[in-house]
Amino acid sequence: MELSQKEKVIALAALHKYMEYLEAQLRSDEIDEEAYADIANDASVLEILIYKTEQELNAKA
C-alpha cells in the first residue's frame, strides 16, 4: 500500500513528534540502563524511517 504525498507529510510530522518524545525519555534521569538502550535503539530505527520518508518526499517534490 502506497501512501499519498499528504499522508506521508502527516506521518512525517507524527514521526518527528514521537522522536521528540523519545529524546525527552533519553534525557530523563528516571530510566535504567536497559530501558535507555531500548529507547536509544527505537530512536535509531525511527531516525532511519524519518530520513527515508524525507528522501521520498523530496524526490517527489
- The DSSP-derived string for 3-42 is PPHHHHHHHHHHHHHHHHHHHHHHH-SS--HHHHHHHHHH
The residue segments making up the domain with residue 28 are 5-60
Tell me how many domains the chain contains. Answer: 1
Task: Give pLDDT, residue 60.
Answer: 76
Digit-coded pLDDT (tens) for 7-61? 999 999 999 999 999 999 999 999 999 999 999 999 999 999 999 999 999 997 6
